[in-house]
């Protein structure tokens, strides 16, 4: 399976710090443009989404220690600006994960998306579902019986 080729540190980062593909793209954009101060409106335009989503996602990334407000900076309209910053320990682990994702994302987008949305605790074996009781099956089948009503009168 392709997902297994993704380093375990990256898989842990994806499942613990990234809520969606759009959030990953936002984070990769901020990281790629480290020196730029981005407003939520600019992020929304760049990612082709709405400003409210961008504001909420930036707030979430600030809580996760991956983004910080840019002190004393704002966009021309006076809205606050944000930038990529590693304030979450261990910063080296998330920096490694983001570096790997930034390098691999253009060529391995599908496998990264697959890892992002994969179940966190996949079943260890493909065991068949438990057998249904014959009473339950009969009850289910009875639901499809067509019963003729006696003629009125």
Write out the DSSP string of 111-145. Answer: HHHHHHHS-SS--SS-PPPPPPPHHHHHHHHHTT-
Cβ neighbour number for residue 23 with a 10 Å cutoff: 21
d(CA 54, CA 68): 14
pTM (whole model) above 0.75: no
State in Å, rounded, how far the first CA of the chain is from the last one.
Answer: 68
pLDDT band at 74; cut points 50, 70, 90: confident
Sheet of strand 67-74, all strands in order from the earlier edge strand to the far edge: 38-39, 80-84, 67-74
Distance CA 59, CA 76 (A): 21
Residue 15 binned pLDDT confidence (cut-offs 50, 70, 90): confident
Return the pLDDT at 94: 84
Q: How confident is the model at residue 3 (pLDDT cuts 50, 70, 90)?
A: very low
CATH T-level fold of 2-117: Arc Repressor Mutant, subunit A (1.10.10)
Spatial separation of the C-alpha atoms in residues 151 and 82, rounded to whole Å: 75
Q: What is the pLDDT of residues 85-143, one digit of tens each?
A: 887 767 778 889 999 999 999 999 999 998 888 876 555 545 555 555 666 666 666 66
């Amino acid at each position: 399976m392709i997902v297994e080729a993704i380093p375990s540190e990256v898989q842990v980062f994806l499942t613990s710090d990234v809520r969606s593909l759009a959030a990953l793209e936002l984070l990769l954009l901020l990281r790629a443009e480290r020196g730029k101060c981005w407003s939520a409106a600019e992020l929304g335009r760049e990612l082709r989404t709405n400003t409210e989503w961008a504001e909420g996602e930036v707030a979430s990334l600030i809580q996760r220690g991956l983004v910080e407000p840019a002190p004393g900076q704002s966009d021309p309209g006076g809205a606050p600006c944000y930038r990529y910053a590693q304030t979450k320990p261990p910063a080296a682990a998330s920096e490694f994960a983001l570096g790997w994702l930034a390098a691999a994302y253009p060529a391995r987008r599908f496998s990264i998306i697959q890892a992002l949305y994969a179940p966190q605790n996949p079943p260890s074996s493909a065991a068949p579902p438990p057998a249904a009781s014959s009473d339950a099956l009969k009850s289910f089948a009875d639901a499809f019986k067509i019963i003729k009503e006696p003629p009125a009168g």
